Amino acid sequence: MKAIVFRVNSPGGSDTASEQILSQIRAAKAAGKPVVVSMGTYAASGGYWVSSEASSIVAEPTTLTGSIGVFGGKFAFGEALSRYGVDLRDVGVGNPNAGAFDVGEDFTPQERAAFAGWMDRIYETFIARVAAGRQLSPDQVREIAKGRVWTGSQALRLGLVDKLGGFYDAVDEAKTLAKLEGEPHLRRVGPQASPFEALERILGVQTSSVRTLAAAAWVFGDPRAERVLDELAQARLRDQGAMVLAPTPSF
């Protein structure tokens, strides 16, 4: 693999997960592999966090991106449910903030201040990631951050993306950065399909139909079909986290 085209289509999510994904992009670049982000419909908030340090970013003109910001809080149901006789009070020990996310009560002033400080630190980290990746000053990033959402065309003018285009434009960009000649060989990397999903693609039927066909073959006594059914059952158990120590023997 000479280069990576990372397709991002996400409205955002966890800052921790975003940072973990970004660390893998850094590792790929450190190994000499250009990483080009291809933005889909959305690449906002956490979707932009994971894109920020790519070798190049290609967005569609209508992509919704940016949203450089962070928010958080909790739902406090205690007062509402108390009207129906439900008491949600928790008993906590240890750190004074141990019960901060108790849904029965609002934040105390101390908890609110600690939570706000946590959000501020995440926001400043986000600013720093974008500044480093896009070669902008933190102050420049703050001017276009504050949670605001931009289209791909606007993001290009603001320096948040490098080019406008679709997936294959990103492929061309990766080819250029990796200094490749000729037609590139593309290999899709994604979640591994389960055996049922693989059969669904091969046979062109739904997973439920695959199971029906396999069960019918078993009923009619085809030993080869029985073996396939057994192997599919074991694979399904493994997919669900079970450990198959003694597969069903075949004679």
With beta carbons less than 8 A apart as the criterion, state whether 83 and 61 touch. no
Given a cut of 50, whether residue 109 has pLDDT beyond it is yes
211-244 residue pLDDT tens: 565 555 555 555 555 566 666 666 666 666 666 5
Domain 4-70+122-177 has CATH 3.90.226.10: yes
pLDDT tens track for 118-135: 999 999 999 999 999 999
Residue pointed to by tokens 């075949």: 250
- Cβ contact 191:89 at 8 Å: no
The stretch 176-192 carries a mean pLDDT of 84
- What is the model's pLDDT at position 78? 73
Parallel, antiparallel or unpaired: strands 56-59 and 149-151: unpaired
Confirm if 160 and 65 have CB atoms less than 8 A apart: yes
Domain ranges of the chain: 4-70+122-177, 195-239
Confidence of residue 195 (pLDDT cuts 50, 70, 90): low
Ranges 12-16, 23-27, 80-84, 113-117, most confident = 23-27
Kindly report the pTM of this predicted structure. Answer: 0.70
Residues 6+ apart with CB under 8 A from 19: 49, 125
CA distance 14 to 19: 9
Mean pLDDT of the chain: 83
| Element of type H or E holding 119 | helix 109-134
Tokens read off for 30: 């450190």
Mean pLDDT of all residues in 165-182: 93
Asked which of 60-64, 99-103, 143-147, 222-226 is least confident by mean pLDDT, the reply is: 222-226
pLDDT above 60: residue 196: no
> Does 49 have pLDDT greater than 60?
yes
Task: Say what the pLDDT of residue 239 is.
Answer: 65
